[in-house]
Structure 1
């Protein structure tokens, strides 16, 4: 007879996400996951097959959460500039109780060159991010908020690259004020 799950899968994925985000994939052991997730090793294997599959599910959950948060913030912004500022602030401020930076960026640096699954997931995440930024920039160009010196796609490539760099730098002891200056300067290239 099959046993019912004795845990909330979303909650344990969130716990695993935080641990992988803080420590990275390689440094996180199954013992760490058992302790941090609060479920038995056998339950982890039954639900997620192995550490790698669990990590990929965590990446999916992270992507869904970030996408939902950013889209909600963009919808609430009254202007395209406000939407772009929200995106930058979201990266710099992070989420309370979560590690700084970005699980995708950390994963690219640690694993993408030798893990095709991680490479694919992170490439798709960066493409979606760039597309979202492009939509906001296009909206700003159409409304007259932003200049048309470059195409929305080219501005999006540039801004996405800056955001990626900020996600790396936010994990350092670098002064946050410096990162905010970089953010403001990057947004200013859009203005007329």
Structure 2
């Protein structure tokens, strides 16, 4: 008779996600995952597959959680400017008790050039981010908050590049005040 699982898959997947996010794929060993996730090695294989498959599932989990969080922030915003300010603050500070930076950005830098699956998941996530930024820019252009001289697609690509840069910079000791100046100027240029 098959044994029932004695753990919540999403809880242990979140633990794996945070460990990969903090350490990267290559630095994270299966032993690290067993210790951090609080499950047996066999349970990891039975539930998630091998380390690479677990990593891809962690990337999916991260994308879904961040997308839901940012979409919720945008929906609660009263103006497009406020929505962008909230997104930039999220990029700079992240969530409480989370590693700095971004799992997608970190993974793209670490692995995308030699791992087609990671490249695909990273670029899909980046496309979602750009679409969210485009929607906000269009909102701001329609309400007269932002200049309409430039195409919203082009502006979204530019803002996304700024966001990626900010996510990388949050992993350094650069002061948050500098990151805010960069974000504020990016909004003003719209």
Query: Aligned residue for 1:134?
Result: 134
CA RMSD between the two structures: 0.5
- Write the distance in 1 (CA, Å) between the matches of 2:70 and 2:4: 35
Within a 5 Å distance, the mapping from 1:6-17 to structure 2 comes to 6-17=6-17
Within a 5 Å distance, the mapping from 1:99-114 to structure 2 comes to 99-114=99-114
Within a 5 Å distance, the mapping from 1:1-192 to structure 2 comes to 1-190=1-190
Shift in Å, 1:149: 1.7
- Write the distance in 2 (CA, Å) between the matches of 1:76 and 1:89: 15
Shift in Å, 1:35: 0.2
Cα offsets for 1:96-129 (capped at 9, x unmatched): 0000110000000000000000000000000110
Count of aligned pairs between the two proteins: 190
Shift in Å, 1:175: 1.1
Unaligned runs of 5+ in 1: none
- Write the distance in 2 (CA, Å) between the matches of 1:94 and 1:25: 20
- Write the distance in 1 (CA, Å) between the matches of 2:143 and 2:178: 30
- Write the distance in 2 (CA, Å) between the matches of 1:12 and 1:71: 24
How high is the TM-score relative to the length of structure 2? 0.99
Shift in Å, 1:18: 0.7
How high is the TM-score relative to the length of structure 1? 0.98
Shift in Å, 1:65: 0.3
Unaligned runs of 5+ in 2: none
